[in-house]
Amino acid sequence: MNSSDKALVVLSGGQDSTTCLYWALQRFGADNVEAVTFDYGQRHRVELDSARTIAALAGVPHTVLPIDTFAAIGGNALTDASITPESGARADDDTALPNTFVPGRNLIFLNFAAAFGYTRGARHLVTGVAQTDYSGYPDCRENTLKALELALRLGLDARVELHTPLMYLSKADTVRLAQQVGAMEAMAFSHTCYNGEQPPCGHCAACELRAKGFAEAGVADPLVERFRQG
């Protein structure tokens, strides 16, 4: 096995990271892929179980790493129980970040992922961030990721590569990519709902965005179908 081909996928257990995991399997081969999930005190902790299930379905090694600092900082709806996640579509001219923005989350995740990958000989890091996401999180933008990639290369003295397959895809295009890479079976066990509900609440911003993507792609959401049939 060529260590230069080894990849580490940041797997939250959600729709996007599940798609990226199967994209990585297709790109790098099953023997070269691992997944890492971060337990950061998130409200929707059920996604940790989703990540474990999806990694098992994909047949890849999976590690959960604890990061409790975000919960200690608080101030956002994903780590502070006193704040309710926003719901409903945002206006096109609304430039304010939603209360589900966890400051620095993706920056921290990718730094830890790079360190973890370094010990595994994996220089390829795969993450499901997307600049086209409705929320406009600044740590999901391409210029942020390019700057971080350079910092990681310098700080680790290694040829780290950040892969962002979804960067400019719409949610509907992400659904189509999931179909292409064979992720739909695993998608039935993914979790997106910010409220941590199963079946998903259907009214938080994450649920609405996911539903819109599947509707625009003309594809039934395997997660919704699983609960409907169950």
Domain layout of the chain by residue ranges: 3-229
51-102 pLDDT, tens digit per residue, is: 999 999 999 999 999 998 888 888 887 777 778 887 755 545 556 788 878 8
- Alpha-carbon gap, residue 119 to 230, rounded angstroms: 41
The reply, when asked if residue 140 is annotated as ligand binding, is no
The answer to whether 5 is a known ligand-binding residue is no
Residue 39 annotated as binding site: no
Measure the CA–CA gap between 144 and 161, rounded to whole angstroms. 14
Per-residue pLDDT, averaged over 198-207, amounts to 90
Q: How far apart are CA 57 and CA 23, in angstroms?
A: 14
| 17 assigned to a ligand binding site | yes
Q: Tell me if 204 is assigned to a ligand binding site.
A: yes
For residues 29 and 1, give the distance between their C-alpha atoms in angstroms, rounded to a whole number: 10
Overall pTM > 0.85: yes
Q: Is 20 annotated as a binding residue?
A: yes
Q: Class for domain 3-229, per CATH?
A: alpha beta
Calculate the average pLDDT of the chain. 90
Q: Is 193 annotated as a binding residue?
A: yes
The C-alpha angle with vertex 87 and arms to 84 and 91, in degrees rounded to 5, equals 130
Q: Is 21 annotated as a binding-site member? A: yes
16 is in an annotated binding site: yes
Q: What does the pLDDT read at residue 1?
A: 40
Q: Which of 39-43, 89-93, 214-218 has the lowest mean pLDDT?
A: 89-93
- Check the annotation: does 13 bind a ligand: yes
Q: Is the pLDDT at 18 greater than 90, yes or no?
A: yes
